[in-house]
Amino acid sequence: MDEFKTNLDEELELKERQEVKSPPLYRVFLLNDDYTTMDFVVHILETVFNKPPVEATQIMLHVHKNGKGLAGVYTREIAETKTAAVVELARQNGFPLQCSMEKE
């Protein structure tokens, strides 16, 4: 180990200290079921996940056909809030719609 720090060593240390770490991201998925209406799922994608109507319909149909589909990617707190909002809105409307999150 060298006795003296070089300018480069110091610059690298400063950069490390200043580096902005991006928070972990979570994928939020909608799950298919036989009872939730297609209209309600599209409404959820438009209102909770801010999807434009055409994209909301495409995602809903993907979930309907494949069992699961990506609604959005968010930091943990936002993903948790949206997941809880989906379940609450679904239960208020008598639907069993399920939502899950997975760390990226």
Q: Which stretch binds ligand TYC (CB under 6 A): 3-11, 27-35, 48-56, 73-81?
A: 27-35
Q: How many residues bind ligand TYC (CB under 6 A)?
A: 13
- Non-local CB neighbours of 76 within 8 Å, separated by 6+ positions: 23, 24, 26
- d(C-alpha 60, C-alpha 96), whole Å: 15
Stretch that binds ligand TYC, among 14-22, 37-45, 74-82, 86-94 (CB under 6 A): 37-45
Residue 70: both structure tokens together: 């990506």
Q: Does 33 bind ligand TYC (CB under 6 A)?
A: yes
Nearest CA to 36 out of 102, 99, 101, 95 is that of 95
- Which residue's CB is nearer to ligand TYC, number 33 or number 80? 33
What does the per-residue mask of binding to ligand TYC show for 38-57, with x meaning CB under 6 A? x--x----------------
Orientation of helix 53-66 relative to helix 38-47, angle to 10°: 130
Which residues are near ligand TYC by CB under 6 A?
30-34, 36-38, 41, 60, 63-64, 97
